[in-house]
Structure 1
Amino acid sequence: MSATISIRTDSELKKDFEVFCKSVGMNSSTALTIFMKKVVAEKRIPFEIGTDPFYSKENTAVLKESINQLKNGRGSRRELVE
């Protein structure tokens, strides 16, 4: 017996995921089924989940100081580099 799961996701992420799945010889449904089976078997998410280091206390402090410098005319604006 099969069931359907419907999810909403970013269209670009969906496209990238489908491209990856195709490159390893499966479709997105198969990949998600493998993920769900692994979660159920291990009773955990099968990879580490962490926070974005951009939001660390140290980086946030640096960002706040930079903002204060800009507000006080003691700095120059830089474009964000990804």
Structure 2
Amino acid sequence: MALMITDECINCDVCEPECPNGAISQGDEIYQIDPGKCTECVGHFDEPQCQQVCPVDCIPHDPGHQETREQLMEKFIRLTASK
């Protein structure tokens, strides 16, 4: 399951540099997560790094993008194959 950033985001800028896949970017009003790049840090870390550093706890799972750990690992392999 990909993650999402809710409107509780305070634009503190700490999540973006923590994302190993470059899935987080500044949106029109708040940061946003590209579900096509989000692997919940599977393949990189044991826990999603953006959730670990978020001071307002505004990065839940995105119910619109449900994926298994195996699917997240496949996405990680696809994303890193071109690097």
Per residue, is there more helix in 1 or in 2?
1
Per residue, is there more strand in 1 or in 2?
2
Larger Rg: 1
User: TM-score of the superposition, structure 2-length normalised?
Assistant: 0.26
User: TM-score of the superposition, structure 1-length normalised?
Assistant: 0.26
- Greater RCO (CA < 8 Å, at least 6 residues apart): 2
